[in-house]
Amino acid sequence: MGWLGHGVRVTRVEVTRNWRSFVGNRRRILLLLGMLVLFSPSLYFLFRGVYAFGVSADRAAALAAVRQQVTPLSLLFTAVIALRVVEAGRLDNEELLLTTTGPRAVVFGIVGTQFLQGLAYFLLPIVAVSAAFAVGAGTPALLVTVPVFVAPLFAAVTLLGYVVGTTVSITLTKVAVLRRLRRVVGLVFFLVILGLAYALPYVRLPADVPLTRAAMASPLDRYADLFFLGTSFAPAVDATTLGVAAAVVAAVPALFLVAERLGPVLWYADEAGGTSVLGRDRPQEEETEPTVPPVTATRASRPPGPFARSTAGHVAWVQWVRGLREPTRFTHLTYLLFVMLPGVTTLLTDPGAVLTFGPPFVVVLGVFLAGASFGLNPLGDEGRVLPVLVTSGTTGRAFVRGRMLAGLVVGVPVILVAGVVGLAGPLPAWQVAAVAGFGLVLAPVSVAVAVGIGAFAPRFEAVRSYGGVETVTPRTLSILGHTTVVGLLAGVSVLVVFLPSVAGDVGVGSAQVALVQAGALAVVAAVLGGVGVGAYRYAVRRFDAYRVD
């Protein structure tokens, strides 16, 4: 069997293993179904808009819309694949794999796996959007031409992403400074790419924007003309279009030759390291000691300034040290991208509303961050250090307050910045101040609720989170519970603040509104206080009741 046959086998084994891992993880399936349900309204309006565009669009408008997306989407997919390659780090069972077949087959297997996974992630949505346009425009040929011509373009993009990712991995292996910063850089890069992946379909840039002109001037935009072959939208295929198509096809073997040379450089380099940009170690090199020293350790026991005045401040400082040392602990915060996506898309499609809806939106984001940063898994985050912490004399009250303080340091500055920026917008100053004030009240409640829910359902085992990072993350139940409770409290609070404006639109008198608003404020304050105090006391009892077997 030649290298091609071995490469196909490697691809088949990797795809089968990934599929079994996915279907065997109920958490991932439920998360996927939940995301589909959550974004079903957005998907409906997206497909409806594409269908309406297909009904009314002429040839020039259709070509311009598709050409504008080809280059940005190609760059985005290249970045995503490069990040996946960098994050993957070393090969699984690389000694066995590299001694049973050649580097060319291994590269083919890795790239083939990335290509097939990318088709599932990217090609299916593209085909779905194309189908909506085809139905609206009455051009069923798009259902054939789009997959046929997207496949070679995506093959070239996959290989380019692999080359870029492998080059970055080699650089991280050779440069010590970058290797120390790999986790921070990788996590930030992952969050940026994930945000762009969800925001880009909603962005429609005017034709006079330089970024739009640059995208339209790219030679790759002419490749989009091939998607319309056999339809009424098809332009004349000239030498430029054929040249771009030939370049895309020729790039596949050329990039494969480059990838074949780069692969062994990475695999046979830094044998003692074996970590990816996100810091995921090789399975055979798992650490046997806790990665985070206990609270009483020397390096973590010297908090600065106000953190050194109390045990709670010391606990809060330790959380910050751990977060900076291992930022992959915050990968669960990517769920905020999904929660906040409807608001982000609204602001992207209507930039004029940024100063109107932006400050309340950011205030709510700060409230979520305060609780979700350090509170959703207080016991599980301690891991092997928890028995040391419990027996060190730290009280439950100090531990919970330390967790709350660490989260407030994250959320409160976001709320204050949103309030200051909101003063420059069209909202009355008293409404901006009221929203920011409610945010400052909600932030401690959010932290208390998060700590209470996290203490109720702790997770001690490491799981593979977003981006393939192995880390201890909160349970999905904790994330959903915190989001639901805080979301309801924040929604009611914002509604109470804007009650006079809403009532004025429907003709209700100001005296009646003031009376209702005062009563609503009292009820909301009582509910917030009760929920916050109850969650705080429960978390304290859970910590104090913990016993070391």
User: Per-residue pLDDT for 192 more than 80?
Assistant: no
At 470 the three-state DSSP class reads strand
pLDDT of 90 reads 57
Q: List Cβ<8 Å contacts ≥24 apart for 96-103.
A: 97/10, 98/267, 101/3, 101/6, 101/10, 102/3, 102/6, 103/260, 103/263, 103/264, 103/267
pLDDT of 196 reads 57
Contacts (Cβ under 8 Å, ≥6 apart) of 405: 312, 313, 315, 316
Report residue 256 as tokens.
């494969």
Query: Mean pLDDT throughout 475-479?
Result: 80
Calpha distance 74→222 (Å, rounded): 13
**Which of the residue ranges 356-365, 401-410, 421-430 has the most confident prediction, judged by mean pLDDT?**
401-410
User: Per-residue pLDDT for 250 more than 90?
Assistant: yes
pLDDT of 510 reads 56
Q: List Cβ<8 Å contacts ≥24 apart for 132-135.
A: 132/47, 132/48, 132/50, 132/51, 132/54, 133/50, 133/51, 133/53, 133/54, 133/62, 134/54, 135/51, 135/54
Calpha distance 364→501 (Å, rounded): 20
- Residue 73 phi/psi, 5-degree rounding, is -65, -40
Calpha distance 448→433 (Å, rounded): 23
Pairwise pLDDT comparison (73 vs 449), residue with the higher score: 449
Calpha distance 375→451 (Å, rounded): 4
For the chain, state the CA radius of gyration.
27
Encode pLDDT of 95-122 as tens digits: 677 777 778 888 888 888 888 888 877 7
Query: Mean pLDDT throughout 87-95?
Result: 64
Encode pLDDT of 136-153 as tens digits: 888 888 888 888 888 899
